[in-house]
Amino acid sequence: MKEQFQAYIQQLQDSICKTLENVDGKAAFKEDLWERPEGGGGRTRVIENGNVFEKGGVNISSVFGKLPEQLQKALNVSQGNFFACGLSLVIHPISPLVPTVHANWRYFEMYDDEGNIVTQWFGGGQDLTPYYLFNEDAIHFHQVCKDACDKHDTTFYPQYKKRCDEYFYNTHRNEGRGIGGLFFDYLKETDQISLQERYDFVTEIGNSFLNSYVPIVEKRKKLKYTLAQKDWQEIRRGRYVEFNLVHDKGTLFGLKTNGRIESILMSLPPKVQWHYNHLPEEGSEEEKLIKVLQEPKNWI
């Protein structure tokens, strides 16, 4: 399974990068190959200062070795040897009218002292973080997610949409990071669902990503915006940074397993603002966004 999924994320990285370069029309992804001393490595690709994208990364990695004791406790496992591979992406557009997007699809194995697999699972999802709320964009993103889920099980979308709302939530701010999407983890083989069926589902979601995001970018990328709207985007990016550094489990896993810092922190936007006790004007488009983030909405 790990060879199968590694081949998939390599192909998916190529497809996503090529499509985003075409959407941008100027910037190209720069590739950085790296190795992890404890085992494994990755292929980081970053795009910067384009026509559409201010900064973005589409990374794949495959790492293995001894799992730190702290993470053994966090994952509730007694075995210490692991393998993990996945694709992780974050795209920060220049325009505040184009949303930031994040996605991740991953596979994990744990081994006993003899090298036998003792547990294995998939995780991942994709979520949208707009700075100005266009309802039709939110509906489109969620509809693509739902359609992909429904091909496998009609209970998946409501279940994983709810988990996404709960996970990507800044509890210290009492608001969501964005308008959600899908989040799933620990998708293991069961009596009813084989590991291959789990793979088929996760790759279905991965294959749906470009259709969920690119039409939104194409629709919004040429809209005119003001300096005040750009300031709001950078203030909201601050909340994005707060989540990634305070709450995100993927960031923690990377830091605790001696992951490559540049790849782990590529999710952080280049320009961010923090204003003391900043509140949007009553009745404004900015306040409209905040109200939705404070109470997750069913878009479908």
Q: How far apart are CA 25 and CA 91, in angstroms?
A: 15
Whether 278 is catalytic: no
Q: How long a stretch of residues is the chain?
A: 300
The active-site residue, picked from 102, 140, 152, 278, is 102
The DSSP string of 105-159 is: EEEEEEE-TTS-EEEEEEEEEEEEE-SS--HHHHHHHHHHHHHHHHTT-TTHHHH
* 3-class SS of residue 232: helix
User: Tokens for 267?
Assistant: 């999710």
Q: How far apart are CA 280 and CA 17, in angstroms?
A: 35
Q: Report which DSSP code applies to 265.
A: G
Q: How far apart are CA 300 and CA 165, in angstroms?
A: 14
Q: How far apart are CA 118 and CA 189, in angstroms?
A: 12
Catalytic residues: 102
